Amino acid sequence: MEFSIFVQMYIPGAKAHDPAAEHQSVMNELALIKAADEHNWKYAWVTEHHSLPEYSHLSANESFMAYALAITENIHIGSGIMNLNPIVNHPVRVAERVAMLDHLGEGRFEMGTGRGAGSWEIGTFNLDPEQTREPWEEVVWEFKKMWSQQEYSFDGKYFQTPPRNILPKPYGGLTTHPPMWVAAGNPPTYEKAARHGMGVLGFNITAIHDMKAHVDSYKAHIGDAVPVGQYVNDNVMISNALVCLEDGQEARRVATDMSLSYLQSLMLLYHDTFAVDPSLKEKVWPAKFAEPTLDDIEERIEQGFLLCGDPDEVLQQVSRYQDVGCDQVCFGMPVGLSQEHALKTIELFGDLVIPKLDLDPVHRSTKMRQGLA
C-alpha cells in the first residue's frame, strides 16, 4: 500500500476573500508537499477547480505542479485533475503541458484527468454535466498519438487539429508517457477506468470500507483493458482524512476543530453530480453540518471516515484498509488543520507508519510505466 496527500487550497470563511490569505495558502501547501517528499510519501495530487470559493482556490495546477517538482526530489506530483473538455483546456495544450511536466520531473509527473466537479464549476465555461462525458471520451484516446506521431491531426466532434508535430514529446522517448488516471466520483467509473487501462483517483465521499465493491469491480476488469495510453496503469487510489500527532487525545481534539463538516457541506454544494443519498443534500446549504464532537470523532474513526490518533493508533487503523484492496490511500492536507499540525501529521505518519506498510522503494506507477508489474 502506497500513500499520498492532495492539496486544493481550501480556505473557509472570510479568508477566502483575502488575497493575502490566498497567497499564504499557496506557500503553505507547497511546504506540505516538500515535507511529504522528505518523509517517505510517494505521491502528491494537485486539484484543478474553478470558481469554487472557500472549497478550492487551486485552479492553475500546471504552474503549481511545475514549482512543486522543482522543490522536491523523489515524490511524484500528479494532476488531480486536468479537465479534458476542449472548451476548458484544448487537448493540444494539455498534451504539451503534460510532456513538459514529465521532463521537469524526469518521470515524476502523473496525469490525472477528469470532467470537472459539478454543474457550478463547469458552468463557469457555459457547460452542463451532460456536455462533459462525450468530450472526455473523445479526447482521452488522442494523447498517445500526439506524443508519438510527428504529424498528428484530428477531425473530431469536439475538437479539430490540422497536421502538426505536437511538442515536446514526453520524457524518455516516443513509446512512454506519464501514467494516466481518471477521477471517479461514481461507481461505474471504476469499471470504465479499468477497461481504459487507467488508474482511478477515488475522491470518494463515503467510508473507505464501503469502497471495496468498487475496487473489486476495477480489479475484475483491468485484465481486459484496451489502454488509452501506451500501457496499462493498474492502480486504485482511495481518499480519506488524517490527523496524526504524538498525543492521540490531542489529535482527536484537533479533529473536532478543523472544519471537517463545513468542508463536507461545501463538497455537497459544489459536487452536485456525485452519487450520494439525496437526504444528505437536503440537509446542507445554506444550512451546514454540525462540527463533530469527540464522540463523533471516535465514530468516524470506527466507520472508516477518518484516521486519527498517535502513530501506533493510526497504523492499526490504516492496516484495516488493506482488505479494501486499494493500491494507494490519499489524505487531503491541510483541510482545516493548522500548518503546524499538518506538517507534524505528515512527518509522523511518514516516518513511523509508512515504512511499516510500504516496503517497496519503487513507485507502483513507475513499475507500470516500465513494464515491471
pLDDT 10s digits, 68-113: 999 999 999 999 999 999 999 999 999 999 999 999 999 999 999 9
Kindly list the distances between the CA atom of residue 199 and the CA atoms of 35, 80, 190, 194, 242, in Å, as whole numbers in the listed order.
25, 12, 9, 7, 23
Instruction: Please report the pLDDT score of residue 282 as a whole number.
Output: 66
Going by pLDDT thresholds of 50, 70 and 90, the confidence category of residue 134 is very high
pLDDT tops 90 at residue 276:
no
- Assign 279 a pLDDT band (cuts: 50, 70, 90): low
Q: In which band, very low, low, confident or very high, does the pLDDT at 373 lie, cut at 50, 70 and 90?
A: confident
**What pLDDT is stored for residue 283 in this prediction?**
64
Helix (H, G, I), strand (E, B) or coil at 223: helix
Nearest to 47 by CA among 95, 74, 91, 11: 11
What integer best gives the mean pLDDT of the chain? 95
In 3D space, the residue among 219, 226, 176 whose CA is nearest the CA of residue 197 turns out to be 226
Cβ contact 128:119 at 8 Å:
yes
Mean per-residue pLDDT for 344-349?
98
Q: For residues 218-228, give the mean pLDDT.
A: 97
How many whole angstroms separate alpha carbon 329 and alpha carbon 141? 27
Average pLDDT rounded to a whole number, residues 241-253: 98
Asked whether the beta carbons of 215 and 236 are under 8 A apart, the reply is: yes
173/222: higher pLDDT: 222
> Is the pLDDT at 3 greater than 70, yes or no?
yes
Residue 284: is its pLDDT beyond 80?
no
Domain ranges of the chain: 2-370
Mean pLDDT within 42-50? 98
pLDDT at 278: 66
Residue 285 has pLDDT above 90, yes or no: no
Q: Which one-letter DSSP state was computed for residue 353?
A: I
> What percent of the chain is modeled with pLDDT above 70?
97
Q: What is the pLDDT of residue 277?
A: 65
**In 56-186, which ranges are continuous DSSP H helix?**
61-70, 91-104, 119-123, 133-140, 143-148
pLDDT in tens, 181-214: 999 977 889 999 999 999 999 987 678 888 999 9
Residue 248 has pLDDT above 90, yes or no: yes
What would be the CATH architecture of the domain defined by 2-370?
Answer: Alpha-Beta Barrel (3.20)
pLDDT value at 326 more than 90: yes
Cell reading at 99: 510532456
* pLDDT exceeds 80 at position 274: no
State whether the Cα torsion 201-202-208-214 is positive or negative. negative
Q: For 140-190, what is each residue's pLDDT tens digit?
A: 999 999 999 999 999 999 999 999 999 999 999 999 999 999 999 778 899
| Lowest mean pLDDT segment, chosen from 246-255, 319-328, 352-361 | 319-328
